[in-house]
Amino acid sequence: MSNGNLNLLEVTAAEKRALRAHKIKVKEMHHHSVTSLQQLLNIPKIRAMELFAFSEFQSLPSIGIRFAQDLISMGYYSLKDLKKKEGAKLTDQFEVQSKVWIDSCVEDQFRLVVHYANNPDSKLNWWDFTKERKAYREKHGYPTSRPKQPWFELPQYQTSNKINASNEVTRNELHKNLKRSLTYMKKHFDEKIIVSKLADQAHLSIYHFIRCFKSAYEVTPLQYLTQLRLKNASFLLKKSKLELSYIIPQCGFEDESSFIRLFKKEFRLTPIAYRKTFSSKK
């Protein structure tokens, strides 16, 4: 499990400049071979492999920086490396390496990346592997060597520990204030929400609120709110027959075009295609 230093694999300023010079977007680094990246960026082969993997893994739906880093820490540098792997065995390997048992949805992500390694044109998301994972674990269980400590007890996964503060008392108070803003978002995601309103809920200045929120949750407040709204929209598309014109405002989006753009970016499907694909699944 990643040690909390998520900057380890991020693209450096020098690498970004070199990418821009060659008109290569960070998210499209995996469209170039490792050898090409090595030559274009003037970096060692292992670094080129890391950047290739970092980009390719995050091109999959719902795979973010942390899980991409975890895969690389296990020695996988491309989807090709995962073609003959099994999600369950990768999970078991990862838990032994991390010395903790992990959240079950992470196993769904392992199953997802193996699936995409073998089915690159798939439209599935990590939650489509939950049923498969549950059936497997019910039948096979977990190895006796499985660690006893849960992942959330590790210091880097304690949200309060991520907040930059001079002492523990201040850090805990800031965490409490941030949770107040989260509660507000969850209750009012269907309303128009501006950052200043969230900052008021946390009793912080806008600048301090955004900085603390991002350090704690690794996304900005508005990114978190958008993810929350998209999650609720996807649920309604799957579980109801409500018209899109009703779902959009009910989930806090102001217009159809921006909603469709954000939804497609998150789920790699338009809302209508998503409903057709998943609404009939039990």
pLDDT tens track for 162-194 = 777 778 888 889 999 999 999 999 999 999 999
Grade residue 155 by pLDDT with cuts at 50, 70 and 90. low
Answer yes or no: is pLDDT of 195 > 90: yes
AA letter at 262:
L
Cβ-Cβ contacts under 8 Å for 118 (sequence gap 6 or more): 83
- Please state the rounded mean pLDDT for residues 103-130: 93
Domains and CATH numbers, the chain: 6-140 (no CATH), 158-218 (no CATH), 224-278 (1.10.10.60)
Cβ-Cβ contacts under 8 Å for 241 (sequence gap 6 or more): none
**How far apart, in Å, are the Cα atoms of 189 and each of 74, 200, 202?**
38, 16, 16
Q: Give the tokens for residue 199.
A: 């900052």
**pLDDT for 243-259, tens place per residue?**
999 999 999 999 999 99
Residues 117, 2, 154: CA angle, nearest 5 degrees: 135
d(CA 16, CA 147): 39
3-state DSSP percent of the chain in helix, strand and coil, to 5 = 70, 0, 30
Phi, psi of 150, deg, nearest 5: -80, 150
pLDDT of residue 162: 75
HSE of 105 in the Cβ direction (CA atoms, 13 Å)?
6
Grade residue 40 by pLDDT with cuts at 50, 70 and 90. very high
Find out whether 91 and 110 touch, Cβ atoms under 8 Å: yes
DSSP class of residue 150 equals B
d(CA 232, CA 241): 14
pTM greater than 0.85: no
pLDDT of residue 282: 47
Number of residues that make up the chain: 282
pLDDT of residue 3: 47
How many other CB atoms are there within 10 angstroms of residue 98's CB atom?
20
How many other CB atoms are there within 10 angstroms of residue 234's CB atom?
22
Mean pLDDT of the chain: 90
